[in-house]
Structure 1
Amino acid sequence: MSARILVVDDVPANVKLLEARLSAEYFDVMTASNGTEALAICHRAECDIILLDVMMPDMDGFEVCRRLKTDPATHHIPVVMVTALDSPADRNRGLEAGADDFLTKPVSDVVLIARVRSLTRLKMMTDELRMRAITSLEIGMQAPERSAVADTGKGGRILLVDDRESSYERLATILAAEHTIDVEPNPTEALFHAAEGNYDLLIVSLDLNNFDGLRLCSQARSLERTRHVPILAIADPENSTRLLRGLEIGVNDYLLRPIDKTELLARARTQIRRRRYTDHLRDNVQNSIEMAITDALTGLHNRRYMESHLATLAEQAATRGKPLALMILDIDYFKSINDNYGHDAGDDVLREFAVRVRKSIRGIDLACRYGGEEFVIVMPETDLHVAGMVAERLRRSIAGEPFAIHKGAKRIEVTISIGLTTLEQKGEAVADVLKRADTALYRAKHDGRNRVVSHAA
């Protein structure tokens, strides 16, 4: 899908010029003539990137940008200020307001399109994460938008790769006022350093001696552990062409020497804020995935995961000609624990039971809470005899030591019954295996509980 660019300018000639440039590159272009109209369009989520003029009648671009970046609904939309203002103070004011870049008119077509394409990739990646994270809100997890808006972008961990001593000493001194800085003057070691350091930002000089700084940036983008770390490139003015190439390979932002102190700090904060926001989104996605397949009380996999994964394990066992053991475990008289000691005590027992199960099985075994006080353990490459020994060891582990309830104030005896079987017939339905194990469990309970009963295939 083509990115939707919102051009905000009160001069029709400027709007037409930008619209023509962007349309020629197959972007979808929207326009607004004032800040109020631009804010309304952004709130309706109708644009991906904003090209924003500063000097407008009703509300200047600085205020529009500030409102966008302090609103949880719009803070993630990239903003590029395109203006005739060219003083360092104006540039820094725009960056402090939250702008992702500040381009001075007349803007080179090459520079403009490179920046828009770079921000388009970033915006679409963020949008994908935001869509995936929507389910996390439905299960009660906190959305990261409000914390992102409040984030100052300070207190980050930065790796500075620069082999000019006079340069890195000055940059490190400036950045140390707000962040923790590591300097790596040896570019051949920089990638290893970056991969091990858990950094929020990489700052890379593109004017390294006897080393291609762009290659380092490209390698950082291809390495799993540094793929999502933002990169701020620094270059001499005569290397501006290489900076544009850097934007194409994944550099997030850049600065030309001589470096303005305020601008360096502002751009670093912007990148660190964005990194923290996307990390929070990724964490929400991962947590929502884990919550979807995990039983919240015991931490074991849930029935949904077991039913889908068991079919895969069974197919693998049949293909390889290996046995697959399955046991269903039931906590004996669990209802009486809830009735006599309360549901909190029942929860204490379930949590401790899960801990003991994990200690009794291998890492490749699958342990799930099947429902209530019933659990399922699936053991790949395990025959009925070995599975029987594991089941008996687990039964003794449960019965051999009382369970603490009410925060350790009381201890009670707990036992389990186990029904055990194996999958040994190629193509056998997993539902039949579960039914056979359930039949064995019924026999264990009928015969007096606190025992293991096997049911051969």
Structure 2
Amino acid sequence: MQGTILVIDGVSTNRIALKVQLADAFFDVVQAGDLKEMHHKLRICTPDLIITALAVSDGTACDVKSATQREERLRNVPVIAVDAKGCTTARLDALAAGVEDVICHPIDDLVLHARIRSLLRARSAKEELRLQRDAAGAMRHSSIEFGQMEPLRAATVALVTETKLMGRNWKKALEEFAPFGLRCHDLTDIRGLMSAPVPDAIVIELNPDTAGLGLRLVADLRARAATRQSIIVALPDQDTPEIAAEALDRGAHDVVQSGFNPAELAMRLRAQLTQKLQEDRLRASIHSELKAASSDMMTGLHNRRYAMPFLDRVLQDARATGESFALMVADLDHFKQVNDLYGHPVGDAVLIETAARLKMMITPKDLLARIGGEEFLFVLPGQSASDAAKSAADFCDAINERPFRVAGIDQPIKMTISVGAVIGSTRQMRDLSAADLIAKADQALYAAKNAGRNRVSVSKQSPVAA
């Protein structure tokens, strides 16, 4: 089965007809005649989607949506309402309550199944984001209420129509209902959609004469990195269900089959942009948590957790190309004395300044990571032995050429650093692992310490000094 759909309708023939349609698409169908029966069904199952009549004997589609919002397990279950009477007010009320779509009788199989596929894809994507957030250890964000307007005022919506005149007419009509910025494009002049600032939502006219171009645009926008997260709303003619279904299957987030109605379009855009805002916050939270997991909080450098996979990738690339690279481990000399004499806050300030100085010495392709208290790791792809010797000397100079000035300390603090270097040669790349190369760099670092500190070593002396 593709999933479970709960059908709520007081008319048994309507429920049976929907069950036949959905069973043919391999959905498991659960039925309820009213809200009381719905609550009973929801206690024993969690549907993937709900299709409800706009009104039943003891409530409305708004009540159904409200019920799903009260339970965490049901919060992301999409709701489709079926309008048997063509009541615009009731349809707008349902959309305002958060119902994902309202479709009219007679129900078109093509559009219904496309809409179900679209909503289930969206639900799956949101659940995946939440799982990624939880895996990254992010804090839960409170949901944004549908009545909250302020975050949407900064949103921009592009209106893409067959002619500029049509776009201007749409814009003028929407301005009364839409709290966000509006701009116009025609179907043959869409370069601005692909460049910054990318619109938050794009409304595309799909009349029969230009549907092919418009549908290709829908697919193109969803495929491009710049516009992949933009909301796409398609407006086909009322009598073209096949175009509506195609738009949904090509990636449109919403389709307005009732024609251009500024109040309804504004409401749908508001709901879609609210969802986008929630998902953008989830993505930002995931990015922040992943960055925190791979970064050293004090210095802002990468940490060992990030450095080891990076070194593995450099080693694999070097094995494939035969290109050498430099691996270095650097350690501040006599750093313990700084903590003992001045306290750990001063030691932290020295570490932060050390990281800043060293970071200025590397290129974007290089890696600098803090892997211990006062220990740093460099991975420098493409460097030969002579390149590495110069780089390591520059690292030493960056630390010892001028003393460290720390707020609250009258005298500047003189610091030096020792560096142990290993060059990833053809033989080493074949025989040694990343951990083996780090061990060799550590041995070289100990040799530099034993030789008097403030120097670079690539020798293989036994570790003695600390």
The answer to whether the superposition gives a TM-score over 0.5 is yes
Alignment of 1:259 with 2:272, yes or no, is no
TM-fit CA distance, 1:269: 0.6
SS at match of 2:327: strand
Q: Structure 1 stretches of 5 or more lacking a match? A: none
Q: Taking structure 2 as the reference length, what is the TM-score of the superposition?
A: 0.87
Task: Report if the CA contact (8 A) 1:43-1:74 is conserved.
Answer: no
**Structure 2 counterparts to residues 73-112 of structure 1, below 5 A:** 74-112=74-112
Equivalent position of 1:218 in the other structure: 219
- Work out the CA distance in 2 between the residues paired with 1:410 and 1:79: 69
- Work out the CA distance in 1 between the residues paired with 2:170 and 2:48: 33
Task: Report if the CA contact (8 A) 2:444-2:460 is conserved.
Answer: no
Task: Report if the CA contact (8 A) 1:419-1:441 is conserved.
Answer: yes
TM-fit CA distance, 1:12: 4.1
Distance change >3 Å, CA 375–CA 98, structure 1 → 2: same
- Work out the CA distance in 2 between the residues paired with 1:379 and 1:68: 54
Distance change >3 Å, CA 173–CA 421, structure 1 → 2: same
- Of residues 69-78 and 325-334 in structure 1, the stretch that sits farther from structure 2 once superposed is 69-78
Alpha-carbon deviations, 1:20-55, whole Å to 9, x = none?
221111123233444466568769982222212332
Amino acid at match of 1:374: E
Alignment of 1:132 with 2:136, yes or no, is no
Task: Report if the CA contact (8 A) 2:304-2:369 is conserved.
Answer: yes
Equivalent position of 1:24 in the other structure: 24
Task: Report if the CA contact (8 A) 2:48-2:77 is conserved.
Answer: yes
TM-fit CA distance, 1:58: 4.5
TM-fit CA distance, 1:227: 2.2
Equivalent position of 2:158 in the other structure: 159
Number of aligned positions between the proteins: 453
SS at match of 1:50: strand
Q: Structure 2 stretches of 5 or more lacking a match? A: 462-466
Alignment of 1:432 with 2:436, yes or no, is yes
Equivalent position of 2:448 in the other structure: 444
Amino acid at match of 1:190: I
Distance change >3 Å, CA 311–CA 114, structure 1 → 2: closer
Amino acid at match of 1:287: S
**Structure 2 counterparts to residues 60-75 of structure 1, below 5 A:** 60-69=60-69, 74-75=74-75
TM-fit CA distance, 1:410: 7.8
Task: Report if the CA contact (8 A) 2:144-2:274 is conserved.
Answer: no
Task: Report if the CA contact (8 A) 1:52-1:82 is conserved.
Answer: yes
Distance change >3 Å, CA 369–CA 78, structure 1 → 2: same
**Structure 2 counterparts to residues 58-457 of structure 1, below 5 A:** 58-69=58-69, 74-136=74-136, 138=137, 141-147=138-144, 151-152=148-149, 154-155=152-153, 156-176=155-175, 177-185=178-186, 187-207=187-207, 212-256=213-257, 258-406=259-407, 411-424=412-425, 425=427, 426-455=430-459
SS at match of 2:152: coil
- Of residues 382-391 and 69-78 in structure 1, the stretch that sits farther from structure 2 once superposed is 69-78
Amino acid at match of 2:450: H
- Work out the CA distance in 2 between the residues paired with 1:436 and 1:332: 19
Amino acid at match of 1:347: D
TM-fit CA distance, 1:190: 1.2
TM-fit CA distance, 1:298: 2.2
Task: Report if the CA contact (8 A) 2:167-2:185 is conserved.
Answer: no
TM-fit CA distance, 1:454: 2.2
- Of residues 155-164 and 315-324 in structure 1, the stretch that sits farther from structure 2 once superposed is 315-324
SS at match of 1:94: helix
Equivalent position of 1:53 in the other structure: 53
Amino acid at match of 2:221: A
Task: Report if the CA contact (8 A) 1:344-1:406 is conserved.
Answer: no
Distance change >3 Å, CA 329–CA 237, structure 1 → 2: same
Amino acid at match of 1:29: V
Amino acid at match of 1:102: V
- Work out the CA distance in 1 between the residues paired with 2:39 and 2:395: 62
- Work out the CA distance in 1 between the residues paired with 2:221 and 2:249: 14
TM-fit CA distance, 1:284: 2.9
- Of residues 252-261 and 123-132 in structure 1, the stretch that sits farther from structure 2 once superposed is 252-261
TM-fit CA distance, 1:316: 2.4
Task: Report if the CA contact (8 A) 2:206-2:236 is conserved.
Answer: yes
Distance change >3 Å, CA 390–CA 320, structure 1 → 2: same
Distance change >3 Å, CA 28–CA 406, structure 1 → 2: farther
- Work out the CA distance in 2 between the residues paired with 1:414 and 1:38: 72
- Work out the CA distance in 2 between the residues paired with 1:92 and 1:287: 38
- Work out the CA distance in 1 between the residues paired with 2:234 and 2:410: 60
Equivalent position of 2:464 in the other structure: none
TM-fit CA distance, 1:91: 0.6
- Of residues 95-104 and 121-130 in structure 1, the stretch that sits farther from structure 2 once superposed is 121-130
- Work out the CA distance in 2 between the residues paired with 1:189 and 1:411: 62
TM-fit CA distance, 1:198: 1.9
